[in-house]
Amino acid sequence: MIGTVGRITSAALLATALPVLAVTPAPAVADGPEIVGLQTGDDGRTIMVAPGDEIHVRFFARHNEHETWIWDVPTTGRPDVLYQTHSTTESNGDSSATYLVVGQGLGDLTAHRRCGAEEGHHCPPVTLPWKVLVFVR
């Protein structure tokens, strides 16, 4: 008796689930390369990308009363994996770079933030590193 009830219950659940599954749209499939955006808060992350994807890195300087924390241009230790197509530093301390994923394996992006003080003021002798690991699938 328990086996019969179990089969009936399973059949009823399957009958009600099939129409729901039939009308659920399939997830969208990416048609081309993806663009991945990175910024200050992404420090320490590991991201997964594919050949042909682009990585856009953008840093904004932080301005205090007598000092500005400025960024250098993000660089990679693996130009065979991540090819830099654009980079810039702006007079206000912002920086950015764009990378095209061209190889397989593990790459990285690194940058540093440092202090620039107004005349007559001093900055702490600190350079703050930023790093993201990039795994190409």
- Band (pLDDT 50/70/90 cuts) for residue 2 is low
Q: What is the mean pLDDT of residues 86-110?
A: 97
pLDDT tens digits along 63-96: 998 999 999 999 999 999 999 999 999 999 999 9
Going by C-alpha positions, the residue among 95, 79, 132 that lies closest to residue 87 is 95
pLDDT for 103: 96
Burial of 41 (0-12, 13-18, 19+ CB in 10 A): exposed
Tokens 């994996």 sit on residue: 81
pLDDT tens digits along 113-132: 999 988 899 999 999 999 99
pLDDT for 30: 56
Helix-strand-coil percent breakdown of the chain, rounded to 5? 20, 45, 40
Burial of 99 (0-12, 13-18, 19+ CB in 10 A): buried
Amino acid letter, residue 132: V
Residue 81 to residue 134: CA distance in whole angstroms:
9
* Mean pLDDT lowest among 6-20, 89-103, 123-137: 6-20
- Band (pLDDT 50/70/90 cuts) for residue 25 is very low
pLDDT for 71: 96
Q: Which CATH number fits domain 35-136: 2.60.40.2020, 2.30.130.30, 2.60.120.1130, 3.40.50.11540?
A: 2.60.40.2020
pLDDT tens digits along 27-65: 444 578 999 999 999 999 999 999 999 999 999 999 998
- Band (pLDDT 50/70/90 cuts) for residue 22 is very low
Residue 128 to residue 117: CA distance in whole angstroms:
16
Q: Report residue 117 as tokens.
A: 């003080």
